[in-house]
Amino acid sequence: MKNYLKHDNWCIIEEGFHREFNEITESVCSLGNGRMGQRGNFEETFTGKTLQGNYVAGVYYPDKTRVGWWKNGYPEYFAKVLNAANWIGIKVEIEEEILDLNTCEVSDFQRVLNMKDGYLHRTFVATLPSGNQVKVDSIRLNSIVDDESGVIRYSITPLNFDGKITLTPFVDGDIKNKDANYDEKFWEEVQKETAFAEGYVELVTKKTGFHVVTGQRFEIFQNGQSVDFQSLPIKAEKYVASQVTLNVNRNEETVLVKYACNLSSENHKIEDLLIKSKAYLKRISEKGFDKMLEEQAEKWASKWEMNDIVIEGDVAAQQGIRFNIFQMNQTYTGEDARLNIGPKGFTGEKYGGSTYWDTEAYCIPFYLATADQQVSRNLLIYRWKQLGKAIENAQKLGFKDGAALYPMVTMNGEECHNEWEITFEEIHRNGAIAYAIYDYVNYTGDKKYLAEYGFEVLLGIARFWSQRVNWSENKQQYVMLGVTGPNEYENNVNNNWYTNYFAVWCMKYVMEVSEYIKASDSVRYNELASSTNLNESLEFSKFNHIIDNMYLPESKELGIYLQQDGFLDKELIKVKDLDASQRPINQKWSWDRILRSCFIKQADVLQGMYFFEDDFDIESLKRNYDFYEPMTVHESSLSPCVHSIIAAKLGDKARSYEFYNRAARLDLDDYNNDTEDGCHITSMAGTWMSLVKGFGGMRIRGGKVYFSPFVPENWTSFSFKVRFRGNLLNVITTADFVTIENLSGGETSIYLYDEEYLLKENSNVKIEQQDFVLA
């Protein structure tokens, strides 16, 4: 755990240059706008420890899977989130010395991610080996108004000399991914072009054929006035630049404003990319930096008006939740139904693919409550559009008759994960996709979705489960063998309780949905039965037999559900008894040792009890929590939030806060020693869940919204807004009172500590806070 970033309500602040943590800070200070993004790299040359990263949404490369063996059904490729052309670069030479913070003496350094207004601000004083000293002030943003562009205001002021500086803004497409197999480069040049103070590089990805034009245009000011200058164009492989040499005087500021764009063939015709890039840069440069910065602040203000969570009395917690919400909104806007939420977003290249089960399990609840209903619907339709690929994925593994296995990792619906225990065994992902449909309908009341899209997905998933189980003559029950549950520190286990329970639920739910559609729209039901080749009596009879006879491992003696067969044969050791020098175990232990241990990477049984909490009484939940929590190392970013919500439900307020804080500050404090690879974007939605569902006690039951809030001990108050079925509610909780305001949407009813209140529009209810345990 690191603690070098200054706590602040609205900003992430690095004071003093922490070279040893630079890659971590680059991840944390990443910028994005849903279309493009980049890590918090320096504009000028830096030869120290850095991970250069620029990314364009929807663009990927199918890197050949690199394994020492091959098995039938194994993915042929591992989809890379591609490092794209570096558009932020500005080479700075001072009297022929290159400005490089790795070779300079650096003072007064500050790097600030301003989350309120959506920009990265960096200042420092550099003393070069010659003794020449300069002050630099850089502001960079990725526009969420003009979402295929970014802009940089780069200011340099000589402090102790008069002389010459040379500025060379550039676009460099000759880049590669850090984790590229065989050090392969994935981009080829199509064309490049330079003109006065501008340049363009068009690249195309190998194999997938995505075209991207990255362009730059710049202007220069001295002492606040635009200056004329001569620009020397430079071209190299996949590279364009413009070199400008200027006379500078002591204490006089020179400013380079660099406008850039990334236009992709995902959004434009290939033959139009270059000409549209030129027009795009002309338009935003005429708008100017100040206007773009002003528009950015206004757009972010509108986002924060809806999405902000305000915490009084705990700056670290406030900073943490705002950082998580900021990154979620940078990564996915919901404006393009073709896109999804990658686990690293625009903060790093680790993990392939753009879509994991994280979207359904963690992100959809966030967007349901904070965005227009269509955003969540689009995320579900994204999976419906890939149903054919899910059926193909299942066929590759030997399944038939319309069984669908959604990929663990994907770009286009095909499985592209390159670890066998994930690809073949971590099939619980199917359950999360089915649950998201239930979650959406339960939250919005949009039952039309079931007949339009949902039923086909649910049936394909249920068919998979019915074929994946087998009848055990020994147990006289159905079992599911050779799986990996959410806890990836167990592989190839038999009868993972979470997976078995989810399979049963999926088969129950698809039959419930079937009855609803049949009753509400028999014509559509007949169409669906025909298009899916549904033999209802035969298939549903089998589903019911599995439901009635599924084996779910448990210990009646301990009163707990067993994570999988044989779990109690392990040496059961608590995490608190593990030497701190051994953590995180995934970086200190062999995989063999991890698999033999009892330690749990993330919530598994508890994840299932979180999803289906109404199926279990509070005593059962407590027994399982008390048993599994002490063995959970939380080395998955997806884990702490679930534990926080469960602890809150059990009335364990201190532990709930502890888990919340770990989730909220996971990347800011680098809890798992892996933030240098990028931030954990999808788990950030879990931070929001831990506060709203945990401290806020928010639940949806029977088409009604319930709250049972409490304030953590060291907070004064907290408040959050949620959308629910056309209403916008503001929930304000202090140590003494809870107030719920109906800000818009007409009259509605809400439940507060299980008491119903009718709220007219622009009215509120205020009651004393209760010491309430959610039943």
Partners of 152 in beta bridges: 140, 258
Judge contact between 90 and 154, C-beta under 8 A.
yes
Q: What is the pLDDT of residue 67?
A: 60
Considering only CA atoms, which of 106, 108, 119 is closest in space to residue 46? Answer: 106
Copy the structure tokens of residue 444: 């919005």
Q: What is the pTM of this model?
A: 0.96
Say how far apart CA 671 and CA 658 lie, in whole Å. Answer: 13
In degrees rounded to 5, what are phi and psi of residue 710? -145, 155
Say how far apart CA 125 and CA 774 lie, in whole Å. Answer: 55
Say how far apart CA 201 and CA 237 lie, in whole Å. Answer: 10
Say how far apart CA 637 and CA 269 lie, in whole Å. Answer: 39
* Alpha-helix residue ranges (DSSP H) falling in 258-363: 273-287, 289-307, 315-331, 358
Q: What is the pLDDT of the chain when averaged over all its residues?
A: 95
Q: What is the pLDDT of residue 693?
A: 98
| Averaged pLDDT in 10-residue chunks for the chain of 775 residues | 95 97 98 97 98 94 69 76 95 96 98 98 98 98 98 98 98 90 88 97 96 98 95 97 98 98 98 98 98 98 97 98 97 90 90 84 96 96 97 95 95 85 90 98 98 98 98 98 96 97 98 98 98 98 98 98 98 95 94 96 96 97 98 94 97 96 96 93 94 98 96 96 97 97 96 96 93 57
* Alpha-helix residue ranges (DSSP H) falling in 616-775: 618-628, 639-649, 653-664, 681-689
Residues, the chain, total?
775
With tokens 């038939």, the residue in question is 400
State which amino acid sits at residue 81.
Answer: V
Say how far apart CA 44 and CA 128 lie, in whole Å. Answer: 14
Give CA 120 to chain center in angstroms: 20
CB under 8 Å to 615, separation ≥6 — which residues?
none
Considering only CA atoms, which of 585, 601, 337, 609 is closest in space to residue 498? Answer: 609
Q: Would you say the C-alpha torsion 650, 652, 655, 657 has a positive or negative sign?
A: positive
Q: Is the peptide bond before 584 cis (omega within 30 degrees of 0)?
A: yes
Q: Mind telling me the catalytic residues?
A: 488
Q: Residues 24-55: pLDDT tens digits?
A: 999 999 999 999 999 999 999 999 999 999 99
CB under 8 Å to 184, separation ≥6 — which residues?
63, 176
Q: What is the pLDDT of residue 775?
A: 47
Q: What is the DSSP string of 726-764?
A: TEEEEEEEESSEEEEEEEESS-EEEEETTEEEEE-TTEE
